[in-house]
Structures are given as C-alpha cells and as structure tokens.
A and B are shown apart, each in its own frame.
Chain A
Amino acid sequence: MKQNFQNTNACIACNPRPATALSRRAFLRRAAVLSASGIVLLSPHAWAARSLETDSKRRLIVVFLRGAVDGLNVVVPHGEPAYYDARPTIAIGRIGASDGLIDLDGHFGLHPALAPMQTQWRDGTLAFVHACGSPDPTRSHFDAQDFMESGTPGVRTTQDGWLNRSLAAIPGTHGPTEALSLGPTVPRILSGKVPVANIALGRAAERPMPMDRPVIEAAFDKMYVGNDSISRAYRDGRQARMRLIGELTQDMTEANAGAPSPQGFSDDTDRLARLIGRDPTIRVAFMALGGWDTHVSEGAAQGQLAGHLKPLGEGLASLAKSLGPNYQDTVILVISEFGRTMHENGNGGTDHGHGNVMWVMGGPVKGGKVYGKWPGLSTASLYQERDLAVTTDFREPIATVLRSHMQFTDAQLDRVFPGRPRSSGNVDGLIKA
C-alpha cells in the first residue's frame, strides 16, 4: 500500500524558513483536491441526497495563512515614516520606485507581488481590514490559531469551530458537501456538528488506496449493507472516493498532455471555481496555507514573503475571474492568527506580533477601501510598544460578512460567536447593501 500519510499541514508555524515551493505546492495540491472533489457533487446518490432548506447560493471561502503573515508588509502604511525607520532592510520600496508599492489610497500600498489583485481592488471587490486581530494577547501560534478557529479568544475548551457553527446556525438538515475542507483531518475551524466533506490527502494524493480496487470494494460492499451509521458512512465514503479517483485520473491525464506550468496555482483555482459552479449547495470551503513565519530573511519586494504572496495573489485573482457569475455570491476571507513585530529583528525577519490585516474579496464586498481604525505606528500607539495594535476584533468583519452576505440574524451570530464584542463600527459598509 503506497498510501500517503504526509501531513501537508504540519509545521507551518514552527519552521522559521519554510520552503516556498513546498508550501505553494501544498496549496496547489489542496486546490486540486477541492476541485477534484467537485465531481463528487455530480453523484446522483449520497452526495446529492441532501436537503438544503434555502436555495441561497451565497457562500464563504476561508483561506487561513498559518504561521502569522506579516500584514505590515502586505498592506503597507507607506504614509508613516516610522514604517521605514523600523524596517531598514525589509521595507517595501516607495511608490514609483522599481519594485515599489502599489498605491491603494495614498496612505496604504499593496505589496508588489500582489499586483494581479489590482484588478479586484480597482473593480471594487477587494477590501482590507487593517489593525485587525484577536483581543487575546497570546503570541503563541498554537493558542492564537486555536482561538481564531474556535472563534472564542481566550476560551480553550470550545470544542467546535466558528465555520462549522455558521452552518449549524442555518436551519434545516445539513448534507455532506455543504462544507468542504482540505487536509487529513477536520480542521479546528470546521469541526462540529455539521458534516464536513473532509478529504484526507497529502503529498501523494494521487496514489490509489487499497479501497480503490474493485475486488476489494466489492467484497466490503457485502458487509456494509445495513442502515446503521457505520454502513452509511461507508457508502458515503465509497461514493466520494470513487469519483475523486476518477477526477484525479482525469487531472493527471490533462497534466501530462499539457505539461504543468509553474504557475499552475491559477489552473487549480479555476477548477475550484468550476466546482462551485457545479454544486450550488456548497456553502463554505476552507483551506490553509503555510510558510508565513518569517523570523529570518523575510525579504522585501523580492524574497521569502514575496515568494509566498505571488502565487497566493495570482490564485485569488484567478479565482475571482473563473468563478464567473458565482463571484457575485462569494466572499473570500484571508485570515492569519496574528501579525508580526513592527521592527525587523537581527535576522532580517520579524517576530511574533499582534495586529494584522484581514483580506476580504468577492462580488458582495464593497471594496477598493482599507477598512478599520488605524492606530498609527508611534511607539506609544503600538501594542506593548512593539506591535501593531488591534483596533478591530477579527470576529467583527466575519460577523459583518455573515450578517450582510450570508444574511444571518443577530441570534444566529450569537451562536457563531458567543460573547462577541459590540460593533465598533470600523467595518460598517464592508458588504454592499
């Protein structure tokens, strides 16, 4: 059995010098899997046998940048001299310089590696929320990711994740493809009562499992004939696996014929878009990308961070295009557990910080704007005199998306984010009325 147990999710937070290509490949793989699983949705039986009470096509995609992306180098406050003082070797060049920032609003500029996303910025479907983050002071990836996924900062014993609770808050029964997740286990954010189509895959996703062999399937089929929960899970799994392998085989054939391009990420987001096109019942999708823990040699316009941002930006821009009309019903959130220190450290990197930037993209977004209350970068305004302060709780933009885009009531929001903070008004208008 050449089954793969490589954990593509592992160690994103711990490896100070993550392999750019690896983490990009991980994203590619996951995107491939997500799109591949789309064929599942054509299944006439288990996967289609689902009842979504609402015919709403509104959906939410969450991309988690694990390891704490340096938000100050993603959406750069170039209007603040302190930024350049604090980052002698890793500050992004000023607007107009070669490889310089892309101006957003005169005060903030976009990392040049994210140039493909200018399209969405200009057409008003890309927004950022700056100085956003968790009220919890932890600088532990471990705790901070946990809190951002549970949606209950400071409470360690919450068992489920806010994305799952979001689905649970929608009335009606929940089918197995309402939530799609990529990776070997159900991530914290999607764990909970609502079933999740979770596809355990890794480096060798394309390798067949013993269960793919017809003679073995046929033999097990005879034992799992009952209407008990284990037999039902078996049959659901068989359906999914069969179609998944079919799609993967097709993918490989295409890849062999066309020779995979190094920029294949966009191809994969195209497939993700097709998947959403095929199955209107998908409400949420989740993927995680690693490699952002840039303690050492972060780089500026070029380098480690840029190398990670480039495929991410290209993929997201491509996703926006290839979603076609579905883009109008989709909001994509890009989140990360905390930001990084304002000052670069002695190793050309940045250490664990506090406030960060959240990315919000999609047709329903009133974009072309950097939302939030900017706290400034003077020493006195920094959190503990070292990090960008948090002026907008991360739950607020998410709650706004859920309310205005997914049409949640306050009561539903309370179930998603129990004890959520009162609105600061910082992200009012984030979603088009």
Chain B
Amino acid sequence: MVGEESKQDRILHVLNRLAFGPRPGEFEHVSAIGPERYVQEQLHPESISIPGDLSRRVNDLHTLHMNPIALFIEYQRPINLARKDAKSDAGGDKASIDKTSIKDATKDARIQQRVVMREAVEARMMRAIEGPRQLQEVMTAFWFNHFNVFAGKGLDLIWTGAFEETAIRPHTFGKFRTLLGATAHHPAMMFYLDNWQNTNPGSPGSKGKFEGINENYARELMELHTLGVNGGYSQADVIALAHILTGWGLPKPAGGGGGGTNRRPGAAGMPGAEMAGMFPFMRRRQNLMRPGIAAVDPSGFYFDESRHDFSNKTLLGHQIEGGGIDEGEHALDILARSPATAKHLSFKLAQYFVADDPPKALVERMAQRYLATDGETRAVLETMFTSAEFWDPRNYGAKFKTPYEYVVSCVRATGVPIRNYRPLYGTMQILGMPLYACQTPNGYANTQDAWLNPDAMMTRLSFATALGSGNLPLENPPFEEDAGAAPRPEPPAVPRKGGGKVNINFDPAPHGPKMTPPDPVQLAATLGDYFSPATANAVEASPTNLRAPLILGSPEFMKR
C-alpha cells in the first residue's frame, strides 16, 4: 500500500532528523501520535518527562554540575599550589626547585582532569542515546558545534562540559541572542579564542602577556558565530570589534596583567591575599566583596576594565559609544539582529536538517522568520519542520550520518544499556570525529563530502559487526576511580594543543560479560522493518548471528 509506505517513510524521517534514529518502541510511538505531533512534542521538550534512572545517572556526574570556578579550584589549583610550594621551598634558587613534586602533582591532577572530560562525554552520550527529548539533544550537539570549543586546549579540558551544560543546553530553542551572550560570557570560549588576553595597548592593565589586541574571538564571532564569512564585515570591523571586546575574559592571573583597579595597595594585607596572589579566582572572589570593583559573573567570566579601550568605535556602520562592557553587549545585539546572521544560521540549520545543499527558498523563509521573531530558534525550526522541502521525499535518507550520528544511532537502535562509553568514543575518534576535540573553531562538518571515505566504511562496518555480535564491552563501567578506589592510571594522551584529539582509549573492561547481543528480529522491528531489497535479501541469506551486524551496517543505516 502506497499510503502505508509513505507513512513509514515519514515516521523514519522525523526519527532520523529530529532524533538520532529510532530507539525500541519509538517507531510505534510516532506511528500512534503521527509525525506532525511528534515534531510539536519535540519542539517543546519541557513537556516530555525524563526517566528517573537517566536523571539519576546524569545527576551522579558531579563535575557536570560544577561551575568553572569550582572546577578550577578542584582540578587546576593542585598544580598551581605544587609549583608555588616548590618555588618557595627553593627560595630564590631556581636550580634547587623540586621538579619531581611539581611533576607528581601535575600528573595526579591531569588524571583527575580527565575525569571531568569523561563525565562530559558520558553526559552527552547518555542523553543522546537514551534521552526522550531527542531534538533537545540534536540541537545541543548542533549549537555546541556551532560555538565549538576544543577540550584539548589548556583549561578547556575542564571547562568544556560546563560550557555545554550552562551556555548551550539551556538556550537551544530560545532567542539566539541569549545563546550568543551565554557563549560570549563563558570562560571556556574566552580562553579558547584567546579573548582573555585581548588588551587595549597602553591601558593601565596592559602588562606581560596582556599587552595587545587579540583579534581571534572578534573575527570568529562575526565569521562563524553570527554574520558568516560573506556577511559584509571588513578587517576594520574585526579590529573595531576586538577593541570593543578588550577586557572580556577571565579573572586576572596572578602576577600578570597587573595594575588597574584590581591591584590596590593594601590588598596584600588582606586575609587570604597570599592565596589570591597565586590563585586568580580566589582574588576574584575577594573582588566580589570589595566595593568599586567591576561586577563578576558567577560563572567565572570577568570584565577587566583596566584593560578595556573606552574610546568610541564604529562597528558595521553603527556608532558605539565608549562605555565599558555595555559596548560588547551592544555589539552582540547588532550581530544577532543582522539579516546576514539570520541567513547564515538558517543555512546551517537547513543543511543539518534537510540536505547538504539546502533549498535556497527554504533558507530564505527561515531567515525571514528569524528576523520576524527577533531570532527565536524554535520559530525558525518550526518553519523548517513544517516546510514542503523538509517533507520532500527526495530528502528522506539523503544525509550521510556523521561518525557521531552513526555511532549514537547504532547504539540507540540496539537498545543495549551502556555503562562504558569508551568503545563508542574510540570509534568516533578513529573515524575522525572525537567528541569535544575539534581543534578548529568552525566545528565539524555534517556533509557526506566530509565523512565518506573507503577506510571510514571499513571502520563503520567493523563497529557494526562488533556491536551487532555483542562484542563490545559496553555494559561494565571501566573507571575504577568512580567507586572511590585509587585512580587507575590512564594513558597520558589528552593533547593540550596540536593533537586534535582527546584520547580515551578503547580499552575493554577486564571483568564481566561485555554486553547482550542485540536480537536481530527486535532490531529490525525497531527500525520499522523497512529495508531495501538488497539489504533484506542479504540479511535473510545470512546466519542469525550476522543479521544484526548486517542491519546496522546496511547502506540505508549509513544515512538518515
């Protein structure tokens, strides 16, 4: 029956695009309520309840709920303390500094820092795999990628999870301006794109490594986050925006960026001042209590007016009067409201949700909706999800899954419980898409051009075979430090810079069964029992133990 087939297509289409493919039971759910209502449901995630078990496991990831200041204190301070102690023990004699103690403290701290990274990965993946608010998960991944930060760069190892949790996730469907502001005020972004060092030359706070303009964030803010590369800005606008954003960043590091309002005579005599001297965020806390100091965001964002350029500027033809942090807010308003931004964001959304080369008319309508709603993401998505282009059967199954989408959709389809995410992370890594480890600010591509290659197919099918045969150690938590035992040494392989990857080894858990092999009949039902003749024939002609691998490795399952 043509009508039935068409409905099957539509169900699969929404599950492939608004979700990371079907979980057991979801095909039936969408079939019961209809694809259109499913779209509305997903656009309003607050209406969907989250299973208690999932909530509990997410809540158990304690670093996920720490703010950047707390993370710094817990995971970076031990290194700073060890350095300080070793230096003070050695007196003025550099040669006698006890390097071993610094090394040991650093090594321990790095192991702990990787726990933060692992918890961020687990939180993301367990919600993507099990969470019923699928569009929320898709959009979180989309916006994180849009505002990419690289966990392999310095402090972003401990801040990336917090960045996603507080700057991205709560703002996925709301006003773009709110999302933009949240990222601009997050230390993970300030650090990643170097704006924390962006300083007006000759300003009172200009010193050491804070001595000049850094255009990095200003440029990417326009090119990647808002206007787009052809969005009509000039090099002069980049420079102007960089000046507007001088002083946006982190609390002052000890000894650097001296002068200015934060360095007051007498500070050294305050209780705890010695601590503050070596540990910047402690100083910042004191600043919170002291009158006359610029306000500090509780997240660890800090505006240092002593390094700010207070002169008047011109940005994209707008006059911006010198006035401190308000200039930056004004600039973000201008950028968020620009038609270029509307078009750039609409293109990216349509490319992700509709087709690699998205229909221009659709992009245009989405941009109009964006402008009409003052940049409300939910409204733009609604325009897209109710468009003829989105429902054009030619676009069904037309997107080649990224490694992230492929891995997540495979695991979702099998419905196996996951307690060890390393094999999944490892697979994404070998396929070139390690989570939170995209070095460049433009994020990962989601087009077929970027991800289809011969070796990737072999890796995907090997993963499908391992998963489909029950040969991945997914059910045993491999991380002993979780249980409060001595930390298990992990390979020192998290690149700070230059490596491009955060390395979580594919290291099978040593104890217990790996996983229950998925049942091919159940798997086929989960996917709507709907395969091409070639796939159906191949599956039928194969022994039972190869059927699940073949389904997961089928050409249609490579696409969404």
Interface residues of A (CB under 8 A from B): 1-7, 9-15, 66-67, 140-142, 145-146, 156-157, 159, 176, 184-186, 188, 195-196, 198-200, 202, 209-211, 215-216, 219-220, 222-226, 228-231, 233-234, 236-238, 240-241, 296, 337, 346-347
| Binary per-residue interface labels of chain B (86-121) against chain A in the complex, 1 for a CB within 8 Å, 0 otherwise | 000000001101010000000000000000000000
Q: Which of B267-275, B342-350, B458-466 is near enough to bind chain A? A: B458-466
Complex-state Cα separation, A140 to B219, whole angstroms: 18
- Given known A211-B465, A219-B542, contact A12–B500 (CB-CB < 8 A): no
Complex-state Cα separation, A339 to B168, whole angstroms: 38
Check if A10 sits within 8 Å of B501, measured CB to CB. yes
Check if A14 sits within 8 Å of B453, measured CB to CB. no
Residue of B nearest to A6 (CB): B505
CB neighbours (8 Å) of B471 from chain A are 1, 210
Residue of A nearest to B546 (CB): A219
A3 CB to nearest chain B CB (Å):
6
Complex-state Cα separation, A66 to B223, whole angstroms: 28
Most chain B CB within 10 A, of A6, A12, A202, is at: A6
- Given known A184-B430, A211-B465, contact A222–B538 (CB-CB < 8 A): yes
- Given known A141-B498, A198-B455, contact A230–B465 (CB-CB < 8 A): no
- Given known A5-B430, A184-B430, A216-B465, contact A225–B534 (CB-CB < 8 A): yes
Residue of B nearest to A199 (CB): B455
Query: Is the C-beta of B289 less than 8 angstroms from some C-beta in chain A?
Result: no
Check if A7 sits within 8 Å of B499, measured CB to CB. yes
CB neighbours (8 Å) of A145 from chain B are 498
| Binary per-residue interface labels of chain B (536-550) against chain A in the complex, 1 for a CB within 8 Å, 0 otherwise | 011001100010011
Most chain B CB within 10 A, of A10, A141, A237, is at: A10
Check if B495 sits within 8 Å of A222, measured CB to CB. no
Q: Which of B249-257, B278-286, B363-371, B438-446 is near enough to bind chain A? A: B438-446
| Binary per-residue interface labels of chain B (479-513) against chain A in the complex, 1 for a CB within 8 Å, 0 otherwise | 00000000000011111111111010110100000
Complex-state Cα separation, A184 to B427, whole angstroms: 11
Check if B493 sits within 8 Å of A10, measured CB to CB. yes
How many residues in B have their beta carbons less than 8 Å from beta carbons of A?
A: 69
Check if A5 sits within 8 Å of B427, measured CB to CB. yes
Q: Which of A1, A11, A157 contacts B499 (CB 8 A)?
A: A11
Residue of B nearest to A337 (CB): B498
- Given known A9-B499, A223-B538, contact A209–B462 (CB-CB < 8 A): yes
B407 CB to nearest chain A CB (Å):
12
Q: Which of B18-26, B169-177, B308-316, B551-559 is near enough to bind chain A? A: B551-559
CB neighbours (8 Å) of A14 from chain B are 152, 494-499
CB neighbours (8 Å) of A223 from chain B are 534-535, 538, 550, 553-555
- Given known A186-B432, A211-B465, A229-B448, contact A11–B426 (CB-CB < 8 A): no
The 5 listed contacts between A and B (C-beta, < 8 Å) are: A3-B506, A157-B229, A210-B466, A226-B555, A237-B458
- Given known A146-B439, A223-B535, contact A228–B555 (CB-CB < 8 A): yes
A151 CB to nearest chain B CB (Å):
15
- Given known A15-B492, A223-B550, contact A233–B457 (CB-CB < 8 A): yes
Q: Which 9 A-B pairs have the closest CB atoms?
A: A5-B426, A13-B498, A14-B496, A237-B454, A141-B498, A185-B432, A1-B466, A5-B506, A210-B465
Query: Is the C-beta of B141 less than 8 angstroms from some C-beta in chain A?
Result: no
Query: Is the C-beta of B472 less than 8 angstroms from some C-beta in chain A?
Result: yes
Complex-state Cα separation, A14 to B541, whole angstroms: 51
Query: Is the C-beta of B220 less than 8 angstroms from some C-beta in chain A?
Result: yes
